[in-house]
Amino acid sequence: MNSYRVLNSRVARVDAVEKVVGKAVYTDDMVVSGMLYGAILHSPVAHARILSIDTSLAKALPGVKAVLTHADTGHVKFGVSPARYDETIFCEDKVRYVGDEVAAVAATDPGTAMKALDLIKVVYEPLPILLDGLRAMEPGAPKVHERFHRNICQEVHWHFGDVDAARAQADFVRTDSLSSKMQDGAFLEPQSALAQYDHNGYLTLYSSTQTTHYVHRTLAMVLDIPLHKVRVVKPYVGGGFGPKAACSSMELITALLAMKTGRPVKITFDREQVFLHSRARHQFFHKMTTGIRRDGTISFLEHHCIMDGGAYSSFGIASVYYAGSLLGGPYRLANMKYDGYRVFTNKPVSGAQRGHGAVIARALFEVQLDRLAEEIGMDPLELRLKNVMETGDTTCNELDMSSLGMRECLEAVRERTGWNSRRTKGSSHKADGHGMGVAAGFFVSGAGYPIYRSRTHHCTVEIKVAEVGGGVTVRSGAAEIGQGSDTMLAMITAEVLGIPMEDVKVLSGDSDLSVDLGAYSSRTTLMTGHATRQAAMDARKQILEVLAEKTGIPLDALDIRDGFVHVQGSQMDFASIRKEYLGEHRGFPTQPHGDLLTFAEASRLAFLERGSIIGKGSYRPPPLGGSFKGAAVGTSPAFGCSAQVAELNVDMETGQIHMERITGAHDCGFAINRTQVEAQMQGAMSMGLGEALMEEVKYDDQGRILNANLAEYKIPTAMDMPPLESIIVESHEPNGPFGAKEVGEGAIMPTIPAVLNALYDATGAMVTELPLTPERVLRAIKKARGETSRGDGDTREQV
């Protein structure tokens, strides 16, 4: 048992009450006086030269206050990585996907803004369209960007160890393929932004973003405003999962409209625009060859990947590295070769989504491990345990597993599901329609480096002790997007300062408050948690120092617990302190009493003696990673890991999958809040299950999305989701605050392969294309039935 008072508990979230009473404010809930409504004209064609844009009729419409095109901008390019800045606010010479931004208006009401859009006349000259990511690199394929040869946004070629030597010594080798479909973030709150520009040249943008920091920098850069005059505020955000992690044209347009009109402007996406903007999970085409020794030791992995990135780079340069680097663990793998290509097509842009870049790669590798286990007659869970890395191991691509409870996670799901007695041994596919599958995975706990080259602190936190005494305010730039970071900040502060959580107020998500790179790469608990701990310790020390000076009690004999000052060994005479406090508070109905000095009295005294007390904290990871090209991507101060067992039934006649249960175990290092750790695990499972079973953005042959709505783009409902079990494993990460590390993304890693492996267990069918629609499953079942031998290598279907 630990001795924490707040940490590791199941205390309610600090934002829960506001959210259940409907008082939580999201960006689109905001209305300010004089506000205009913006609207964006998107390209209706996938690839075309812009010959002319005529805005005169739109400008003449009563109620229209501004109409903007590229001619009204500073033509500054932006994107995610400075090495791949390839976007402009509006298209200049050509449009590259259906949805590309061409023009925008601001008007006194939304209806007028929409009418004005209809009056803008754009003449396009169609260009050949490239929609198939697999054809992007072929000679003669239409070119999406002039500057990118063969439509390659980024390619990666890695070779760790010696794959050829390992192949010669492997007893079993097999090659498999898996492809996926473009996924949509499908967060419930569409993006929204509200901009205000004042007479002193200060710009404030309220936005539904995960990363106020990068939006701040991009606004300043593209609109050419001094950085210190830009403020980005994130109200409550209705989910992000990655797609809200970069500055968008919409945010820039909103700000530019406010600057041009001198009035506040708001733009809120409709659901179709959420799909058009996308920046969600790529479509992946993976091919892997894995070798194994007769005793179950994994010998090597050879991995080829093409990712369809859509029209711009976005996060893709990182995604293609992640797809390779995050197979370095959690199994001992000395020899790994990776060739990855992230290519452009004339489709909406893919970016980062929960489990950035690594989810489908993980799925295929875990499927291969199961098939190889079958070939050598070993239980697949046993095979994983045999190869699993332990705390202190380093991967072939130099990722340091400073803590790794992978074995504990696998054992936990084995135990909880009764795996050993319930899963049929030996010949696995008994084809009775019921199956169990296991898989594992790991993920970073905060990217080792910022997106731009800098020595910047990744986050700073200030804890301001109320001058009046009694409470503190945490000031952080961290982005609460539903994952619970505000609660984490409050819990750590309360724990360290020894005060009740209700006396901690959290201000966050505002670039004026502090630096924080934002909610991505599962970084907040580890990084901002560190900074918060440091800031709270600093504030505590300052208060106790004053008390030690005033009472003569040594500093290390003083402690604050539950809002009272405790003294070790001796008695503290605080009569004069209390007398002064009572004197200041004549007439207040509630007064301190009893024989312990209160935190209110101690913190008030600290102010009287020293002025404002502000505890400061910051965090910056140590230099990480190897010296090879791209070594920085995938580095992290720590890695979380996860194992899951999926159980399902398949209707052998229709191919319909019915999920029975998913049991997961995740090593989060140390659970700051146990309920929220489970909540992250369960959310990850549902997103993984959606991608496995049903999610697919569909296109027509002109590059238009066919299902840009939540009726035809299916995400799991309460009826689709089976009961979810979540087991918390705590390996006590030395680089994490109180031992904590990530849970938000690592927990999605095993879901898809656990389902694929359960499907094989149930039916003997291998599906090589996601999602697992009944048609695909049925086709695979039929194929499996027709086959005389199994395990004969690549079972890839024709695309």
Partner 1 sequence: MKHDIQVTINGTSHQLAVPANRTLLELLRDDLRLTGTNKGCEAGDCGACTVLLDGDPVPSCLVLAVQADGCDVLTIEGLASGNRLHPIQQAFVDTGAVQCGYCTPGMILVSLALLRKNPHPDEAEIRGALSGNLCRCTGYQKIVQAVQAAAKEMP
**Residues at the contact surface with partner 1, assessed by CB under 8 A:** 10, 12-13, 15-26, 28-29, 31, 185-190, 236-239, 241, 270-271, 481-484, 675-676, 678-679, 682-687, 709-711, 715-719, 721, 723-724, 726
Applying the rule CB under 6 A, the residues between 433 and 492 that interact with ligand FES are 482
Least separation, in Å, of the C-beta of 654 and partner 1? 20
Task: Give the separation between CA 203 and CA 198, rounded to whole angstroms.
Answer: 7
Closest among 658, 775, 717, 743 to 186, alpha carbons compared: 717
125 binds, among partner 1, ligand FES, none (CB under 5 to 8 A by kind): none
Q: Output the smallest distance, CB 362 to ligand FES, in A.
A: 24
C-alpha dist (Å) from residue 130 to 45, 124, 702 = 12, 17, 9
Instruction: Identify whether the C-beta of residue 483 lies closer than 8 Å to the C-beta of residue 744.
Output: yes
Is 690 one of the binding residues for ligand FES (CB under 6 A)?
A: no
| Closest CA relative to residue 346, chosen from 306, 309, 307, 305 | 309
According to DSSP, residue 718 is labeled: T
Q: Taking the complex as a whole, how short is the minimal distance between the CB of residue 717 and partner 1, in angstroms?
A: 5
**Contact assessment for residue 659 and residue 665, using Cβ atoms and an 8 Å cutoff:** no
Q: Judge contact between 197 and 205, C-beta under 8 A.
A: no
Q: Please, which residue, 18 or 653, has the CB nearer to partner 1?
A: 18
| Identity of the residue, 451 or 689, whose beta carbon is nearer to partner 1 in the bound complex | 689
Q: Any contact of residue 133 with ligand FES (CB under 6 A)?
A: no
Q: CB of residue 144 vs partner 1: minimum separation in angstroms?
A: 30
349: Cβ contacts below 8 Å, ≥ 6 apart: 97, 277, 278, 279, 309, 310, 311, 312, 314
CA neighbor of 757 nearest in space, from 369, 427, 304: 369
Between residue 197 and residue 256, which ones bind ligand FES under the rule CB under 6 A?
Answer: 239
For helices 599-610 and 575-584, what crossing angle results, to 10°? 80
By CB under 6 A, is residue 188 in contact with ligand FES?
yes
Residue 724 Cβ vs partner 1, minimum distance, rounded to whole Å = 4
Window 603 to 662, contacts with ligand FES (CB under 6 A): none
Please work out, in degrees rounded to the nearest 5, the angle formed at the alpha carbon of residue 492 by the alpha carbons of 490 and 496: 120
> Which of the listed partners (ligand FES, partner 1, none) does 622 bind, with a CB threshold of 5 to 8 Å by partner kind?
none
What is the C-alpha separation between 90 and 72, in angstroms, rounded? Answer: 9
**Complex with partner 1: residue 90 or 206, whichever CB lies closer:** 206
User: Least distance (Å) from partner 1 to the CB of residue 20?
Assistant: 4
- Alpha-helical runs (H) found in 14-119: 16-20, 56-60, 110-119
Select 239 or 500, whichever has its Cβ closest to ligand FES: 239
CB of 666 to partner 1, least distance (A): 13
Shortest Cβ 482–partner 1 spacing (Å): 3
Return the residue nearest ligand FES (CB atom).
188
Q: Which is nearer to ligand FES, 482 or 592 (CB)?
A: 482
Q: Which partner, ligand FES, partner 1, none, binds residue 448 by CB below 5 to 8 Å per kind? A: none
Closer CB to ligand FES, 185 or 316, in the complex? 185
Give the span between the Cα atoms of 180 and 659, in whole angstroms: 20
Identify what 237 binds: ligand FES, partner 1, none; CB under 5 to 8 Å per kind: partner 1
By the 8 A CB rule, do 247 and 78 touch?
yes
How many residues bind ligand FES (CB under 6 A)? The answer is 3
- Closer CB to partner 1, residue 239 or residue 500? 239
Closest CA to 234 of 250, 256, 216: 216
Beta-carbon neighbour count of residue 716 at 10 Å?
A: 21
Query: What minimum distance in Å lies between the beta carbon of 471 and partner 1?
Result: 19
For binding to ligand FES (CB under 6 A), which residues are involved? 188, 239, 482
